Structure 1
């Protein structure tokens, strides 16, 4: 009897990464011998429970189809949207139509994910009714400012820095994104959409090495992590 695999991954890759100040979108920046997106796809392919990876790209993307992936997991390209949430929704919708019950959403520019982190968040997300996400406790002292003038110190107890992957039931995530609205600026990650619908996703502690390439210089740090991991 034909049985659909239960878990797929979605990578929103329609953004331009303006904060990196590069002519090329950051997901197509080459580090450690491959593009950032290729590294992120390979990171997801470390767990055999992920049976397909849906990558949402912009309609104007001229880079994606030139890439060669060496992973065994099938890749499906979908058309993304104007926001991260819209791109994620497009990927989740495509995965749901193919029968995938769970979705792991991962940033295109987060190439250093390690296998044990991925395994832990997948297991938690498939067991917890509101899903799960990788995150790390805030270690730095936090300041609230008015311009560049400190107004107060924010207590860091109970504060976490959200990462990806984030894993949810596909029905629940798509419903949350649809109800909240994919243009809603309050959706900064998938967990926030679930939270806005009253959900309480589970936190799974990850590592600081699971860096998201966002600012100039992040690519050098990610390269170091990747090179050290491959030693």
Structure 2
């Protein structure tokens, strides 16, 4: 990994309002240990040796970002995001020069607990296989598919099912093209992998630690704080995530 020092840029879509959190400000600006979720996330990314630049896609009327510690960081660029996550990701991609940045990672603003070992594993996988991929965790619970009345319709076979996480990493030009194509065709894009799948690109599943949670509900704040404390104090069992 030493040969990859400072080579990669991460796009962080942060224009959402986080309605499920039921708070007066966007969820990325809620605080854990006196720092916003967005600060935790971006600082975690930039502290990885292979990452030297983060592009944050902000809401057009964002009034919170200027007061964060990120506002004057020379390794951070800001662009105006869009109504949907995919619009924000695309705005970040358009800010990149694919010739200078042939690969790009995309990471959720509300995932502050991503581990450096997982970032390294994803980067090494994509470069070794010359195609993109995403961090993911195998499904452990029995999965049920419901009908329109919220009754169980079928029990799904979980052995081939994974929870999609982020970051997701792809060749910049291919991801840009795949998202443009999907939007033109009206294909629903839920993450970068879904855009790549729609265009026929390979997308590898890279085993990531399940403590890389996305903060979406109020109770997730306490869980994220617990995880961050565990990681800070080196109390987490790394073997669980291998």
Deviation at 1:219, TM superposition (A): 0.8
Unaligned runs of 5+ in 2: 1-5, 234-242
Range 120-129 or range 169-178, more displaced:
120-129
User: CA shift at 1:98, angstroms?
Assistant: 8.3
- Describe how 1:52-201 pairs up with structure 2 within 5 A: 52-69=53-70, 74-96=75-97, 99-146=100-147, 147-181=149-183, 184=186, 186-201=188-203
Deviation at 1:157, TM superposition (A): 1.5
Alignment partners' CA distance in 1, 2:232 and 2:207:
23
Aligned residues of 2:41 and 2:113 also touching (Cα < 8 A): yes
Q: Distance in 2 between matches of 1:139 and 1:27?
A: 28
Question: What residue ranges of structure 1 are gaps of 5+ in the alignment?
Answer: none
Q: Hey, what's the Cα distance between the residues in 2 that align with 1:216 and 1:66?
A: 23
Question: Is contact 1:12-1:106 (8 Å) kept?
Answer: yes
Is the helix fraction higher in 1 or 2?
A: 2
Q: Which of 204, 211, 218 is the matching residue for 2:220?
A: 218
What is the CA–CA distance in structure 1 between the aligned matches of 2:69 and 2:110, rounded to whole Å?
Answer: 17
- What secondary structure sits across from 2:160 in the alignment? coil
TM-score, normalised by the number of residues in structure 2: 0.88
Q: In the alignment, which residue of structure 1 is the partner of 2:25?
A: 24
Give me the whole-angstrom Cα distance separating, in 2, the residues matched to 1:187 and 1:204. 20
> Do the aligned partners of 2:10 and 2:53 also contact (CA within 8 Å) in 1?
yes
**What is the root-mean-square deviation in Å for CA atoms of aligned residues?**
2.0
